[in-house]
Amino acid sequence: MMKTKEYFGYNRKAKIVTRPNPKLPYFGGILGLYDQLRLIIKRRCVKNIMVTSAVVGEGKTTIAINTALSFATMAGRNTLLVDTNLRYPGIHKIFDLDRDHGITDVLLGEMDLEEAFKKVKTNNLTIITAGRTLQNPAGLLGSEKMKWVVQRFSSMFDLIVYDTHSVTVSSSALMLSPLVDGVMMVVYSGKTRREIVQLACSSIRNAEGNVLGVVLNNREYYIPSYVYKII
């Protein structure tokens, strides 16, 4: 079982930061993303954000979790984190939650929406896991029921973050993209070719999704040693 101290502060393996602390690794990047998103949310009235990537292994789940956590802890916003990566879900593992009784169960009409909410020890954060495994989950995220669910979430929370499939892995990400207010594309620095990222962004736009921007993950910057003494 995951110990509280491992993810309430910093989870070294998953690179999750859950409370403001400039001395923690990756906090600077998370704070920068938080500041940029806060401006976008205010200017464009964004509430529902989908996080995806062009290919697998870009770190989109880490970005989705840190985005939800930063707004829950630093802004005090009532935040919902939804695992819509129905083939390869990972959020329940990070928070040591049961995968079952999640979004698929709601979409299939097997449980009420409120019954899927899972609380964690972080204030202002609620999680919905992926739910039970399905042989063919395609189509669920673009359904009329999903459209209704997104609208209900908007009336209940200040910010909703959806972690979903990579664009090249499943069409589910494209199906969900027009239902949310905006899409964040995560790109692993030095790994994915520009052409693939451009194609993924074009696919989302062709599906009538709104690309808010691209997040460059794992970019390394040199920080002089004296800066650590200052902070």
pLDDT tens-digit readout, 106-151:
999 999 999 999 999 889 999 999 999 887 777 899 999 999 999 9
Residue 47 has pLDDT above 50, yes or no: yes
CATH code, 63: 3.40.50.300
Region class of 161: left (phi > 0), else alpha (psi between -120 and 50), else beta: beta
The answer to whether residue 208 sits within a structural domain is yes
Q: What is the pLDDT of residue 209?
A: 96
The single-letter DSSP state of residue 184 is: E
Q: Which domain holds residue 213?
A: 46-230
Q: What would the mean pLDDT of 70-85 be, rounded to a whole number?
A: 94
Furthest-apart CA atoms within the chain: distance in Å:
57
Give 92's contacts (C-beta < 8 A, 6+ positions apart): 83, 98, 99, 102, 127, 129, 130
33 phi/psi in degrees, rounded to 5: -65, -40
The answer to whether residue 57 sits within a structural domain is yes
Q: What would the mean pLDDT of 73-78 be, rounded to a whole number?
A: 91
Question: Considering the entire predicted model, what is its pTM?
Answer: 0.85
User: How many domains does the chain fold into?
Assistant: 1
The answer to whether residue 2 sits within a structural domain is no
The answer to whether residue 108 sits within a structural domain is yes
The answer to whether residue 7 sits within a structural domain is no
Structure-token match 């079952």, residue found: 100
The answer to whether residue 27 sits within a structural domain is no
Interaxial angle between packed helices 27-44 and 60-73, expressed in degrees from 0 to 180 and rounded to the nearest 10? 70
CA atoms of 183 and 162, how far apart (whole Å): 9
CA atoms of 183 and 227, how far apart (whole Å): 34
CA atoms of 21 and 9, how far apart (whole Å): 8
pLDDT, one tens digit per residue, over 184-224 is: 999 987 788 889 999 999 999 999 999 999 888 766 543 33
Q: What is the pLDDT of residue 224?
A: 37
The answer to whether residue 182 sits within a structural domain is yes
The answer to whether residue 83 sits within a structural domain is yes
